[in-house]
Amino acid sequence: MIDFRLDDEYEALRKTVHDFAQNEVAPVIGGFYEREEFPYDLVARMGRMGLFGLPFPEEYGGMGGDYFALCLALEELARVDSSVAITLEAGVSLGAMPIYRFGTAEQKERWLPALCAGEALGAFGLTEPGGGSDAGATRTTAKLVDGGGHWVINGSKSFITNSGTDITRLVTVTAVTGTKPDGGKEISTIIVPSGTPGFTVAPKYSKVGWNASDTHELSFDDCRVPEENLLGSRGRGYAQFLSILDEGRVAIAALSVGLAQGCVDECLRYVDEREAFGRRIGEYQAIQFKVADMETRAHTARLAYYAAAAKMLRGEPFKKEAAIAKLVSSNAAMDNARDATQIFGGYGFMNEFPVGRFYRDAKILEIGEGTSEVQRMLIARELGLRS
């Protein structure tokens, strides 16, 4: 029997996050967005709710849940605001998850409790200037010195979320640590604590959207960290982060669904109030059809990420399903944001209305954590097609 209904535990979580988003995030987030200010108080409250610890075991201060629980929380947050949602998504799936998946017992004990509590944030240093989607073109280097006692890191990373807040405690970076027998790059991942000499966080970017989230370029100039800060096996860094990105794509799909559904929510309220030519605009078939298409996109995209999450939780290969979910959901978010802005007319172009924020936030969903073109490439490969 196929049943897409959420069980009681998932539904209780969804409702709790929904109420938090509607009652606590929605009334204030517009101000943070226009001031381009990080919402520390909201993040702290999300930490106290246990959202940053959702998929982690209780022994590390987590909630003992799973990745689908995180996705449900992301969807509900993004129905109101994507900056808050991406702060949670990056903090969990990119900041804490690599340590949980690949860290030593000592690394987990040192870092995870504060990350799970939302008292600290971790960041994921993969993308480099000029690298873009070609993550294998890593130029940042890390060399062992002092007889193997320390790594010395040199290079830079770009577009790194949660990397420069007052509560950021670490960035995990990919770096070339040697040469493979076949002549290729040996890429490893290394934990760099915030404040380490030689680690510089550039001023925040001026962004089109996600204006209440934190994004910076990072540079490493003879940045020295202990050898034991290696995360996982030496030379496995690229493979480790590819697996992290597969999971992250399901999370970004959930966030995208939230934005798409938020556009529907806002339009339903607006078309019931706005009048034109003597009638509420929701009575016009042209508007009804547009809203119906928006709901169809959100519904279809939700099923896609549910399917990907189900395979992930069963321990089955889910790379193709994650790519499909990310592609379909980000397209739905972009299309719904465009249609919502059109329905709102001139008001949709004003930042005081949520759909204006949604429109500015939607485009990055077709780029971050793998562009739409990369998703199509992955799907084709999983179908057995090779170039």
List per-residue pLDDT tens for the chain, 387 residues long: 677 889 999 999 999 999 999 999 999 999 999 999 999 999 999 999 999 999 999 999 999 999 999 999 999 999 999 999 999 999 999 999 999 999 999 999 999 999 999 999 999 999 998 766 666 678 999 999 988 899 999 999 999 999 999 999 999 999 999 998 888 899 999 999 999 999 999 999 999 999 999 999 999 999 999 999 999 999 999 889 888 999 999 999 999 999 999 999 999 999 999 988 999 999 999 999 999 999 999 999 999 999 999 999 999 999 999 999 999 999 999 999 999 999 999 999 998 899 999 999 999 999 998 999 999 999 999 999 987
Whether residues 246 and 378 share a domain: the answer is yes
Q: Is residue 30 part of a domain?
A: yes
Amino acid (one-letter) located at 50 = G
Tokens of 76: 């509900």
- How is 183-205 classified by DSSP, letter by letter? S-EEEEEEEEETT-TTEEEPPPP
| One domain, residues 134 and 112 | no
Q: What is the CATH number of the domain that holds 157?
A: 2.40.110.10
Is the domain of 300 the same as that of 320? Answer: yes
Residues 284, 315: one domain?
yes
* Catalytic residue of the set 76, 266, 366, 369: 369
State whether residue 169 is helix, strand or coil: strand
> 288 in a domain, yes or no?
yes
CATH code at position 353: 1.20.140.10
Q: Where is 158: in which H helix or E strand? A: strand 150-161
Query: Are residues 142 and 86 part of one domain?
Result: no
Beta-carbon neighbour count of residue 154 at 10 Å? 16
Range of the domain at 271: 239-382
Pair 274, 306: CB distance under 8 Å:
no
Q: Give residue 133's pLDDT.
A: 63
Boundary of a domain, candidates 178, 199, 234: 234
CA distance 387 to 378: 12
What letter represents residue 92's amino acid? V
The verdict on 117 and 131 lying in the same domain is no
What is the total residue count of the chain?
Answer: 387
| The pLDDT of residue 3 | 79
What token pair was written down for 308?
A: 């990907």
- Verify whether residue 321 is a known catalytic residue: no
Q: Domain of 17: which CATH number? A: 1.10.540.10
Considering the domain architecture, whether residues 106 and 146 belong to the same structural domain is answered as: no
**Same domain for 213 and 100?**
no
Which of 185, 217, 234 corresponds to the end of one domain? 234
Asked if 137 and 230 sit in the same domain, the reply is yes
The pLDDT of residue 241: 86
> Are 251 and 228 found together in one domain?
no
Element (H, E) at 309: helix 285-313
Closest C-alpha to 63, from 6, 8, 9 = 9
Residue 294, SS3 per DSSP: helix
- Main-chain phi, psi angles of 152, to 5 degrees: -115, 120
Domain total of the chain: 3
12-18, long-range: CB < 8 A, 24+ apart: 13/65, 13/69, 13/72, 13/73, 14/72, 14/73, 14/75, 14/76, 16/49, 17/49, 17/51, 17/72, 17/73, 17/76, 17/77, 18/76, 18/79
What is the per-residue pLDDT for 146? 82
Classify residue 3: in a domain, yes or no. no
Q: How many angstroms separate the CA atoms of 348 and 342, rounded? A: 7
Half-sphere exposure of 274 (CA within 13 A, CB side): 17
User: Is 175 part of any domain?
Assistant: yes
Q: Is 111 helix (H, G, I), strand (E, B) or coil?
A: helix
Q: Crossing angle, helix 319-344 and helix 354-362, to 10 degrees?
A: 140
In what helix (H) or strand (E) does residue 234 lie, and over which residues does it extend? none
Domain presence at residue 2 = no
162 within some domain: yes
Matching residue, tokens 């999971």: 247
Query: Does a structural domain hold residue 1?
Result: no
Q: Record the pTM.
A: 0.95
> Is residue 196 included in any domain, yes or no?
yes
Token couple for 100: 């949980």
Residues forming a β-bridge with 215: 161
Q: Are residues 246 and 372 in the same domain?
A: yes
Kindly calculate the radius of gyration of the chain based on its CA atoms and give it in whole angstroms. Answer: 21
Could you give phi then psi for residue 278, rounded to 5 degrees? 85, 5
Helix, strand, coil percentages for the chain (3-state, nearest 5): 55, 15, 25
Task: Supply the pLDDT for residue 381.
Answer: 95
| Domain boundary residue, one of 204, 234, 264 | 234
Do 111 and 19 share a structural domain?
Answer: yes
